Amino acid sequence: MGRAAVPALLSLLSACAASRAHHFLAERTDEHVFARPIAEVWPVAKTVLAERGFPPEETGGPYRLQTAILTPEGNLQETPKTSNAAMDVGRAGGARGGGRRPGAEAPTHSGGEVWRFVVNGTVVDDTHCRVRFTRYTRDSIESPESIGEPDAELEWSLISRVEPETAAAIRKDATAAGVTLP
């Protein structure tokens, strides 16, 4: 194997590991029900978004919010003036996790991919709830939005904060399966 092939192979292995971690998390977060009331979980969901550079805006009900259109790095873009109800359904699989990391500077947007999030909280009963982060992607600010994709990274962050015992069990299962989680 030539020297040029080594970085390419390492990059491929890294991408495969990230994909395995994403798919593992997607399976575990997709149907997760919190053993906590929505009133305890909802403020943490808003904090998770805000810390990633996506300030949440309450919309259409007590446990529903969305963010403005942002670049993956967290640049604020204009929010569309019309709503598309079809964008708020569907949870097709996706491979990217979202947002600017805490403390990151927001560079000037020069075109390219932009995201927004819709978050829905559902009361299961007095002591249980579900929270789903759905990411909508555009190739550019002028492009139509994609079908929503679940954001397993944001959902994992929420589980880790609200139910650290559950997160530890998921991490243990991942380690046993040979998967490294973020």
Residue 118: strand pairing partners: 66, 134
Residue 41 near residue 162 (C-beta atoms within 8 A): yes
Tell me the per-residue pLDDT of 112-145, one tens digit each, with 9 for 90 and over.
888 999 999 999 999 999 999 999 998 888 888 8
C-alpha pair distances (Å), 181 with each of 20, 21, 24, 81, 171: 9, 6, 9, 38, 7
- Mapped onto helix, strand or coil, the DSSP state of residue 158 is helix
Q: Are 150 and 132 in contact, with CB atoms under 8 Å apart?
A: yes
Give the pair of three-digit tokens for residue 38.
């929505």
Which residue reads 């709503």 in tokens? 83
Whole-prediction pTM: 0.72
Amino acid at 58: E
The pLDDT value given to residue 139: 87
Per-residue pLDDT tens digits for 41-100: 999 999 999 999 899 998 878 899 999 888 777 665 444 443 444 333 333 333 344 444
Q: Where are the domains of the chain?
A: 8-176
pLDDT at residue 111 in the model: 61
